[in-house]
């Protein structure tokens, strides 16, 4: 992952996002989804680096060169989840078919008064759980977010629901963010974060794992944070299945992260690899849910 995702500039504009929001809420989801086709075509034609990254990723998953149709389908899946974020944030859950597993691990912990760390990724939609949790059942939740990557999208979309917006804890590099995490955990609040992207270029705070047969560099922060907080770690996926269907998956990474002083780095690597293995399982089952549209494996620099 030699190319940092933060180098990719946000392509959206406040006006474009407001137009999408207006179309979604005024014309309805069936008509709004029709607009996804020209939007997909636009990104396919003009977003060269994203298109190249999609093709490289799909070729890696399929073990053969991906077709243009497959790349278009990949971009369209991402666009679909962005559109549905409008409905999730405005509480229009009746428009979506969201399936939860029989065993809802975070809620089980919450009902016992125990907080947990909810570790997600850019696979599917994290929003499908955050909005649903805030609006539909008592799962107190806070989300760590690096807002500087997509400030316009965060600002425009979160303006749709002030209650959901209040669940954000900004990762701005200051100690205040970590203090807020500790406060939330102490209050029994589930804390969610995404663990599949690097923040900055601190190589001493990363670990190397295997994903789809090649090395990737991931942050150590989620595992170190979980070990310090002494809370269970639950891996989460909100998978987009096409149409209006979403499926939630929970996997318990561990009841409590244990880092031995003598084997600390090896332990961090093992836990992170276990997380990556869960990611790979979902990637292979649902390849179009991968939403890291940049040179994730650093293949452009080989």
Cβ 85 vs Cβ 96: under 8 Å: no
pLDDT for residue 57: 97
Question: Would you state the structure tokens that stand for residue 229, as one six-digit string?
Answer: 């907080």
Pairing between β-strand 206-211 and β-strand 214-219 as defined by DSSP bridges: antiparallel
Among the listed residues 226, 220, 224, 218, the one whose alpha carbon sits nearest the alpha carbon of residue 276:
218
pTM (2 decimals)?
0.89
Cβ 63 vs Cβ 71: under 8 Å: no
Cβ 86 vs Cβ 20: under 8 Å: yes
pLDDT tens digits, 48-62: 999 999 999 999 999
At residue 171 the predicted structure's pLDDT band, cuts being 50, 70 and 90, is: low
Q: Mean pLDDT over residues 251-268, rounded? A: 95
Q: Mean pLDDT over residues 15-36, rounded? A: 86
Instruction: Tell me the average pLDDT of the chain.
Output: 86
Residues sharing a CB contact under 8 Å with residue 140, sequence separation 6 or more, in sequence order: 110, 187, 188, 189, 190
Tell me phi and psi for residue 197, to 5 degrees. Answer: -135, 150
Indicate if the pLDDT at residue 204 is higher than 60: no
Distance of alpha carbon 164 from its chain centroid, rounded? 16
Coil, strand, or helix at residue 114?
coil
Task: Please tell me the least confidently modeled range out of 27-41, 68-82, 192-206, 283-297.
Answer: 192-206
Q: Mean pLDDT over residues 112-129, rounded? A: 91
């Amino acid at each position: 992952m030699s190319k940092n995702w933060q180098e990719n500039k946000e392509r959206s504009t406040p006006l474009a996002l407001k137009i999408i929001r207006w179309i979604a809420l005024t014309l309805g989801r069936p008509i709004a989804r029709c607009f996804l086709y020209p939007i997909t075509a636009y990104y396919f034609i003009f977003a060269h680096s994203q298109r190249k990254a999609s093709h490289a990723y799909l070729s890696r998953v399929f073990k053969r060169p991906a077709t243009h149709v497959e790349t278009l389908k990949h971009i369209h899946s991402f666009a679909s989840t962005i559109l549905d974020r409008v409905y999730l944030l405005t509480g229009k859950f009746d428009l979506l078919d969201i399936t939860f597993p029989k065993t809802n691990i975070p809620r089980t912990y919450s009902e016992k008064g125990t907080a947990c760390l909810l570790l997600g990724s850019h696979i599917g939609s994290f929003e499908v759980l955050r909005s649903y949790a805030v609006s539909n059942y008592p799962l107190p939740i806070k989300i760590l977010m690096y807002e500087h990557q997509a400030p316009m999208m965060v600002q425009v979309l979160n303006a749709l629901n002030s209650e959901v917006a209040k669940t954000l804890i900004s990762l701005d590099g200051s100690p205040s963010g970590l203090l807020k995490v500790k406060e939330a955990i102490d209050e029994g609040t589930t804390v969610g974060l995404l663990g599949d992207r690097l923040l900055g270029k601190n190589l001493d705070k990363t670990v190397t794992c295997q994903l789809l047969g090649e090395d990737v560099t991931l942050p150590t922060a989620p595992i170190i944070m979980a070990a310090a907080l002494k809370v269970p770690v639950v891996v989460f996926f909100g998978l987009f299945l096409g149409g209006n269907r979403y499926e939630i998956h929970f996997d318990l990474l561990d009841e409590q992260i244990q880092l031995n002083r003598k084997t600390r780095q090896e332990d961090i690597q093992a836990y992170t690899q276990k997380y990556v293995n869960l990611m790979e399982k979902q990637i292979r089952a649902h390849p179009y849910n991968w939403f890291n549209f940049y040179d994730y494996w650093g293949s452009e620099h080989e």
